[in-house]
């Protein structure tokens, strides 16, 4: 299957956003002349005003959900990260120092990262066997609560 790239999807969303702004602004300009008189007569919390506010809220929440879905679908691919380089894991060794395992192609590089400097500690020609992160990640507890395995009592 040929999926659209993140750049083309964002370009389409941008065009849709501009067209929406243009249509909303032209309708607002048409009603602007009679707006002060209508508010003085009816008050501010009319059913039409409340529906318009609610519709705007629904549009904004919908856009947030669509962008979250796109980001989850495409991940970090469109954010400039090279395709064959990824961070496998990291370990804090001090208050501001870390060891980070990075995979570049078939090689893995252990980097020492400190404020203002990055040094190569060791290079592995063959990938390490157990490079899966342990279940002590912050999301692991949340995932276990939301998606309990069958046969386990959640309490």
Convert 94-130 into a string of H (helix), E (strand) and C (coil): CCCCEEEEEEECCEEEEEEEECCEEEEEEEECCCCCC
- Residue 154 within a domain: no
Q: What is the pLDDT of residue 131?
A: 57
pLDDT digits (tens, 9 = 90+) for 17-31: 887 877 766 665 655
* Domain co-membership, 21 together with 42: yes
pLDDT tier, 1 (very low <50, low <70, confident <90, very high otherwise): very low
Q: Which pTM was predicted?
A: 0.38
User: Do the beta carbons of residue 7 and residue 78 sit within 8 Å?
Assistant: yes
* Domain co-membership, 60 together with 24: yes
Range of the domain at 140: 85-146
Alpha helices in the chain (DSSP H): 6-31, 35-42, 47-74, 138-146
- Residue 152 within a domain: no
Q: Is the pLDDT of residue 155 over 80?
A: no
């Amino acid at each position: 299957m040929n999926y659209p790239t993140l750049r083309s999807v964002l370009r389409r969303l941008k065009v849709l956003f501009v067209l929406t702004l243009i249509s909303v602004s032209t309708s607002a300009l048409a009603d602007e002349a009679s707006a002060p008189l209508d508010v003085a007569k009816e008050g501010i919390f009319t059913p039409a005003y409340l529906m318009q506010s609610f519709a705007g809220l629904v549009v904004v929440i919908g856009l947030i959900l669509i962008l979250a879905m796109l980001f989850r679908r495409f991940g970090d691919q469109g954010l400039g990260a090279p395709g064959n380089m990824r961070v496998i894991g990291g370990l804090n060794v001090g208050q501001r120092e870390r060891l980070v395992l990075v995979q570049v192609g078939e090689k893995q590089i252990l980097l020492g990262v400190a404020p203002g400097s990055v040094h190569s500690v060791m290079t592995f020609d063959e990938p390490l066997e157990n490079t899966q992160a342990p279940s002590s990640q912050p999301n692991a507890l949340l995932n276990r609560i939301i998606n309990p395995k069958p046969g386990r009592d959640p309490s």
